[in-house]
A and B are shown apart, each in its own frame.
Chain A
Amino acid sequence: MPEFTFGDRELNVCQRLVYASRIATASDASGGHRVRRTGEGVDFLDYRRYVAGEDVRRIDWTVFARLRQPYVRILQHETVLQVNLLVDVSRSMAAGAPVSKAALACQIACALAFVALSNGDLVSVATFAGKLGSMQTGFRGRGSLRRIVSLLQNAPVKGRTDLPASAREFAERSKHRGLTVLLSDFLSPKDYQAPIRRLLSLGFRVLAIQILDQADWGAGLTGRIRLRDSETRRHADLLITARNLDEYRRRLREHAERLNAYCTRRNQYYLYADTQAPFAQIVARGLRERGLMR
Chain B
Amino acid sequence: MTLLAPNALWWLLSGALIVAIFLMRRRIVVVEIPALEFWEQMLRYNTLGRWGRRLRRWISLALHLLIVALLAGALTEPINPAYRNELLVVLDDSATMQTIEDDGRSRFEHAADLLLERRRLAPSGIRTTIILAAAPPKILTDSETVDRDIRAALHARRPRDCPPEFDQALALACRGRRDDAATILVISDRDAASLFGAADVEYLRVGLDQPNVGIAAVTPARDEAALEVLLHHRQMSPRTATISIMAFGQTALNQSPGHRRADNHAVARTTLVLRESPALVKLPVAFLPGDEFLIRVEPADAFMLDNTAYAVWPALTRTRVRLVTADNIFMEAALDQPDAALEITAPNNWTSSASADVTIFDAPAVEPGKPVPGRYIIFGGVDPFGLCRVGETTSDIGPSQWAADHVLIRDVDLLQWRIAATNGRRPPRLARRVVEGGETPLIFTIEIPGKIGDPSDDFKAVYINFDLSNSNVARRAGFPVFVWNALDYLLDKRPEDEQVAQSAGGPLTFPAQSRTAAIVADPAGQERKAYVDGARHVLPFTEQIGFYRLEAGDSRITRAVNYYSDASSVDAATNTSAAARTVDPAWTPGLPVWGLLAAAAGLLLIIEALLFHRGVLKIG
Contact = CB atoms under 8 A, between A and B. Distances in A.
Interface of A: 92-93, 95, 101, 185, 187-189, 213, 215-216, 220-221, 223-232, 234-239, 244, 247-248, 251-252, 255
Interface residues of B, number: 25
A101 B34 CA distance: 11
B429 to A, nearest CB: 94
B12 interface: no
Contacts of B43: 236, 238, 244
Contact of B36 (A185, A234, A244): A234
Contacts of B615: 238-239, 244
Chain B at the A interface: SS class: mixed
Nearest to B613: A239
Interface string B22-50: 00000011111111111111110101000
Contacts of A223: 29
A236 B41 contact: no
A187 B31 contact: no
Contacts of B42: 244, 247-248, 251
B616 interface: yes
Contacts of A216: 33-35
B66 to A, nearest CB: 22
A225 B34 contact: no
A236 B31 contact: no
A237 B620 contact: yes
A45 B38 CA distance: 55
A239 B609 CA distance: 12
A264 to B, nearest CB: 22
B31 A225 contact: yes
Contact of A227 (B31, B41, B45, B613): B31
Given A238-B615, A244-B42, A251-B41, A228 B620 contact: yes
Interface of B: 28-43, 45, 47, 613, 615-620
Contacts of A93: 34
Given A230-B34, A236-B40, 4 more contacts: A228-B620, A234-B47, A234-B619, A238-B616
Contacts, number: 106
B36 A232 contact: yes
B36 A236 contact: yes
B34 A185 contact: yes
A244 B40 CA distance: 12
Contacts of A95: 32-34
Contact of A228 (B32, B41, B617): B32
B39 A227 contact: yes
A215 B620 contact: no
B614 to A, nearest CB: 8
18 contacts: A189-B37, A215-B33, A225-B30, A226-B31, A228-B620, A229-B33, A234-B36, A236-B39, A236-B43, A236-B618, A236-B619, A237-B28, A238-B39, A238-B616, A239-B613, A248-B38, A251-B42, A252-B38
Contacts of A227: 30-33, 36, 39
Contacts of A101: 34
B31 A221 contact: yes
A239 B33 contact: no
A237 B618 contact: yes
A239 B613 CA distance: 7
B21 to A, nearest CB: 12
Q: Quick one: which of B34, B39, B616 has the most chain A CB within 10 A?
A: B34
A105 to B, nearest CB: 13
Contact of A239 (B31, B617, B619): B617
A95 B47 CA distance: 25
Contacts of A187: 34-35, 37-38
Nearest to B47: A234
A224 B618 CA distance: 11
Contact of A229 (B28, B29, B36, B618): B36
A228 B619 CA distance: 10
Nearest to B45: A236
Contacts of A230: 32-34
A226 B29 contact: yes
A247 B43 CA distance: 10
Nearest to A232: B36
Return the 5 tightest CB-CB contacts between A and B, nearest first. A235-B620, A92-B34, A187-B35, A229-B36, A237-B617
B41 A224 contact: no
Nearest to B615: A244
B233 to A, nearest CB: 69
A255 B32 CA distance: 21
Given A244-B43, A251-B41, A229 B35 contact: yes
Contacts of B28: 224-226, 237
Contact of B38 (A215, A226, A239, A251): A251
A155 B352 CA distance: 149
A248 B616 CA distance: 13
A221 B29 CA distance: 11
Given A187-B37, A248-B38, A236 B620 contact: yes
A255 B37 CA distance: 12
Contact of B35 (A188, A220, A224, A244): A188
